[in-house]
Structure 1
Amino acid sequence: MRRPIARRRMLTACLGLLVAGAAKADRSRQWRVAYVGSGRTAIAVPILREALRQLGYEEGKNLTLDVRAANGHYAILPDLLKEVVGLRPDVIVAEATPAVAAAQKATSTIPIVMSPASDPVGSGFVESFARPGGNITGVANMFGDTTTKTLDIIRLVLPNVKMIGVLISSNPTHRGLLEVAKQAAASMAIFAEGFVAPNPDDLERAFAEMKSANCDAVYVLADPVRPAIPGIALKSGLPTIYQVNTYVTDGGLMSYGPDVPGFFSLAARYVDRILKGGKPAEIPVEQPTKFLFEVNLRTAKGLGLTIPESVLLMADKVIE
């Protein structure tokens, strides 16, 4: 299930740079780190907080961690960033492309750590992976590179699939990812169509539209987690596969993509490097090297699906 990519191999060494620096942050100083999430904080913030603690930054001692989250309502992100910038943090950790875009507009001087972004170069966040060139660095998620493999998995589970509904939001990267999905599906003689749910309140309607359009399956593009999706998917009777792997633990049928929780541990190392004096312009953007395929058999049973043994053997994690 691994997809070696030359550029990723070249940049894997960058992680060593983050871990190894001889410089030390001043542990006696009170550092201020802001976390701004496009989605919820339930997954990311505990991981980030613990990773920072392991690096020597502890709230109440030498760290203030300011947390703001849009909870899927991206329109409020500019206001959240304005508020955060007013606190004058040493670093801003921005979760997902919508928050990164808002952070970029809010400040050109405070260091910003992407955690993660789908297309940092195409979105104009960095000049290149090797040398970002501005006040932004961090992690790219490579979700666009996993689409063909994901559709292969759908076809193995549903060999007669003809129509796939692609669930998108107002995330600015989704239009590009939708086109990638359409092209990959067309190469397999499958039709793919996008269905938009800009906000969490729109999910029920979007799934009803996919059901009415006779979709055989749903492909949920990467976004900050919207926890209602697995339940709505099950109720609609639509087999659904996700780019974000944490959905499967919450009742999603299948997922294929990078280890999402790992992004937030890596973000802490970027924060540490910056607090030690590193410049975002010179700290390379990292890409994931680990991809996971996960299956929830309880959900498959609820949908009346039998997952082929050949597919289960491919899985990194099976929930029974």
Structure 2
Amino acid sequence: MRPFVTRRAWLTSGLAFLLATGGKSEGSRRWRVGYLDSGRSPVGSNTLRGALRALGYEEGRNLVIDVREANGKYGLLPALADELVALNPDVIVANATPAIAAAQKATSTIPIVMSPATDPIGSGFVVSFAHPGRNITGVANMFGDTTTKMLDIIRLVFPTAKKIGILTSNNPTHPPLAALAVSAAEKLGTSATPFAARDPEDLELVFAQMKTSHCDVVYVLADPPRPSLPQIALRASLPTVFQVNSYVTNYEGLISYGPDTTVFFKMAATYVDRILKGSKPADIPVEQPSAFQLVVNLRAAKALQITIPEGVLLMADQVIE
């Protein structure tokens, strides 16, 4: 015989369950994901959203995504990270090293997914790739490994170039990347000089400085895209190449060489999924991209009155006409 349960007891136990679960069953739980962007990347946030949707997460049903963007002004990131932490998200996705560093300072308990980091070990985000060891894991972009390769491409496209301007920001990963580029340029018999545009508003002035300094070509180190940059380069009549491919595919830049940046956000979604299902960031290995793409934009080349050598076009993974 089933034990008799009074209506009062049934209501009491039901109320306790609702209080414990927030009024929702486990299957209807609404997860909260914070997205902290060093720049302003609708491609990144939209790719992340699409990848999470493919994994069964739907905004308005079982997912909330809170977005905070610094628009290239990295000094805003600490306050933006604090805003996200105050919302008590289940996980934070941070785009690029400045945002990851800000999130790391804001919390040591909320899981953080790097999307991506240039040097996660050197930056102090993880102990090792295999065993991150803290509340941070995610994707490494390997831009350090592509820096010298880009100098080879510059030599092929601009064989008479005598001086390369290396465009940096206040991204903490840029000094070592710039040093690599300077060393690689010297080995090729070319000089290279870093020029810093700390904020997007500095780009016009810095391109004018590079023009006055007789730079023949500009090499832009990896950063969240500053969409106005390719047009500023065009107005300055300075051929400009990029580590980040979205400059070429989305903003009419000239040439890029590096990993497909949209892959980072798809990979980040799988990290978020694993964390929401109970895995700890300390135990999830850091991943790296397995493929790199050379992208050439012939429209930009025409606007700059540059002829891209046939050999470079044959090397390219994508040619935009």
The letter for the 2-side match of 1:131 is H
Partner residue of 1:8?
Answer: none
TM-score, length basis structure 2: 0.91
Partner residue of 2:216?
Answer: 216
**Contact 1:116–1:263 (CA under 8 A) maintained in structure 2:** yes
The letter for the 1-side match of 2:315 is M
Partner residue of 1:298?
Answer: 299
Alignment deviations for residues 37-86 of structure 1 (CA, whole Å, 9 cap, x no partner) = 00113111111011001101111110011111001011010000111000
| Secondary structure of residue in 2 paired with 1:115 | strand
Structure 1 unaligned blocks of 5 or more: 1-25
| Secondary structure of residue in 2 paired with 1:238 | coil
CA distance in 2, matches of 1:303, 1:72: 26
Alignment deviations for residues 165-198 of structure 1 (CA, whole Å, 9 cap, x no partner) = 0000010100111101111111111111000000
Structure 2 unaligned blocks of 5 or more: 1-25
CA distance in 2, matches of 1:144, 1:161: 23
Partner residue of 1:46?
Answer: 46
Partner residue of 1:3?
Answer: none
CA distance in 2, matches of 1:70, 1:43: 15
CA distance in 1, matches of 2:248, 2:225: 11
Write the mapping of 1:135-174 to structure 2, written as runs, cut at 5 A: 135-174=135-174
Change (3 A) 1:27 1:56: farther
TM-score, length basis structure 1: 0.91
**Contact 2:41–2:224 (CA under 8 A) maintained in structure 1:** no
**Contact 1:27–1:57 (CA under 8 A) maintained in structure 2:** no
CA distance in 1, matches of 2:284, 2:27: 22
Per the TM alignment, residue 304 of structure 1 is displaced from its structure 2 partner at its CA by 1.2
CA distance in 2, matches of 1:52, 1:72: 25
The letter for the 2-side match of 1:94 is A
**Contact 1:27–1:56 (CA under 8 A) maintained in structure 2:** no
Per the TM alignment, residue 115 of structure 1 is displaced from its structure 2 partner at its CA by 0.2
**Contact 1:91–1:271 (CA under 8 A) maintained in structure 2:** yes
Partner residue of 1:86?
Answer: 86
Change (3 A) 1:27 1:243: farther
CA distance in 2, matches of 1:78, 1:149: 34
CA distance in 2, matches of 1:149, 1:167: 17
Partner residue of 2:22?
Answer: none
The letter for the 2-side match of 1:105 is K
Write the mapping of 1:16-55 to structure 2, written as runs, cut at 5 A: 27-55=27-55
Q: Give the greater-gyration-radius structure (CA).
A: 2
CA distance in 2, matches of 1:45, 1:243: 20
Change (3 A) 1:44 1:308: same
| Secondary structure of residue in 2 paired with 1:305 | coil
Per the TM alignment, residue 147 of structure 1 is displaced from its structure 2 partner at its CA by 1.2
Partner residue of 1:310?
Answer: 311
Aligned length: 295
CA distance in 1, matches of 2:308, 2:41: 32
The letter for the 2-side match of 1:277 is G
Alignment deviations for residues 188-232 of structure 1 (CA, whole Å, 9 cap, x no partner) = 111110000000000001100100110010000000010011001
The letter for the 2-side match of 1:248 is V
Q: Which runs of 4+ in 1 moved over 6 A?
A: none
CA distance in 1, matches of 2:195, 2:185: 15
The letter for the 1-side match of 2:140 is A
Partner residue of 1:100?
Answer: 100
The letter for the 2-side match of 1:113 is V
CA distance in 2, matches of 1:162, 1:145: 23
| Secondary structure of residue in 2 paired with 1:49 | helix
Alignment deviations for residues 228-251 of structure 1 (CA, whole Å, 9 cap, x no partner) = 110011111111110000111211
CA distance in 1, matches of 2:50, 2:145: 30
Change (3 A) 1:133 1:100: same
Partner residue of 1:199?
Answer: 199
Partner residue of 2:277?
Answer: 276
**Contact 2:41–2:225 (CA under 8 A) maintained in structure 1:** no
The letter for the 2-side match of 1:303 is L
Partner residue of 2:15?
Answer: none
The letter for the 2-side match of 1:257 is G
| Secondary structure of residue in 2 paired with 1:93 | strand
CA distance in 2, matches of 1:185, 1:155: 9
**Contact 2:166–2:192 (CA under 8 A) maintained in structure 1:** yes
CA distance in 2, matches of 1:225, 1:303: 20
Cα RMSD for the two superposed structures: 0.7
**Identity of matched residues, %:** 66
